[in-house]
Amino acid sequence: MGSGTAVAERAVAFPGSVREALDLLAARPDATVVAGATEVMTLVNAGTMIPSCLIVIDRVAELRGVWFADQEVVLGAATTCADLMHSDVRGMLPALGQAARAIATPGIRSRATLGGNLLSGKRSGGPTAAAPTRDLLTVLVALNAVAVCRSADGWRQVPVLELYARDGGVDLRPGELLTALRVPMSGGPQGFMKVGTRAGGARPLVTFALAADLPARTVTCAIGGFSPAAVRVDHAGQWLAEHVDWENGAISDPTTYPRFARLIAEGLVVPGSAGPAGWATAAVPQEYRERAAEVCARRALVRALPPAGWLEQVAEYQRRAEFLRHRARVDRAERGLPAEPPVPVQESGFGGGRGE
């Protein structure tokens, strides 16, 4: 607490830990918490935001990195998009790696963080944000991720969509910090597709993520990019799960691909009902958006579920998971990074607890 009040006078603070950051946030409730600051700086450069105090958390080691546990992958909130493109993440969560690679440009990916991507844009009850850019949210929704928040009162864990209010604005409580995302392990192919206003780094028109769980024989998919928050498309996922030949891990009827794509496009919510799409993409006609969603869904499914034997695939994913888990643990130890992710000790599957 002493450190918090001492630094409270300063306009820029660099907390060394989550606890310090929370103390600072309690001392300066008006402060802007930034990691990469790429979203905040676009607003500041445009003159729509004047920060009174910056809490810079991009050097908090607790918040940065990826932890591979037995049943889940824990992603630190201040992990950059460039880190998410690492081959370990791509191997375990291919859709997330693809989504991170599709975000913006190398110069921005080296700074922009996972937490910043999720918490950017519209605030709850606030004005319309420039454009919905939460590409990673689409993947995390499809993967049933759980957001872990920390405040002075303790931990709060909610499904990632509950971070947002009904209008799609960020609904983080005052004095609360998003520390990590827990993604349950699903052994199976995943796919991600994005259509933007041009090929390079661009605001998305539609983002689509699909994750098949081979052992559980379920498919989850989510669509986003046209509204502030992504949405799960459960009816399409359930329909698809009935049409997958799980014994062979393949889709035997080729007409399944266009039918699934049609199902996704027809369920596309009109932007007006889910919140304004923003300046950059509002002029795009709805037919084009539906067409883009259809193409995204079809391609993602074709890439995720090509004909192949499912038993071999399950074994392959388990083998790869075991290998990555081991290597990542050794790698973290060698680099002197914290072994424990920023999640409560009791519920995590990690041995050896770090006290609260």
Residues forming contacts to other proteins in the complex (CB under 8 A) are 10-12, 14, 34, 36-38, 40-42, 44-54, 56, 58-59, 82, 104-108, 110-111, 127, 199-201
Q: Which is nearer to other proteins, 173 or 335 (CB)?
A: 335
Helix axis angle for 94-102 and 135-142, nearest 10°, is 170
Least distance (Å) between residue 21 CB and other proteins: 14
Q: Which is nearer to other proteins, 49 or 269 (CB)?
A: 49
Least distance (Å) between residue 54 CB and other proteins: 5
Confirm if 311 and 245 have CB atoms less than 8 A apart: no
Least distance (Å) between residue 67 CB and other proteins: 22
Q: Which is nearer to other proteins, 22 or 53 (CB)?
A: 53
Q: Cα–Cα distance between 286 and 301 in angstroms, integer?
A: 22
Q: Which is nearer to other proteins, 55 or 66 (CB)?
A: 55
Confirm if 199 and 193 have CB atoms less than 8 A apart: no
Least distance (Å) between residue 15 CB and other proteins: 12
Least distance (Å) between residue 40 CB and other proteins: 8
Residue 22 DSSP class? H
Bridge partners for 73 per DSSP: 68, 183
Q: Is 349 exposed, middle or buried (0-12, 13-18, 19+ CB in 10 A)?
A: exposed
Residues in the chain: 356
Give the closest residue to 244 by CA, choosing from 217, 208, 215: 217
Task: Convert 192-204 into a string of H (helix), E (strand) and C (coil).
Answer: EEEEECCCCCCCE
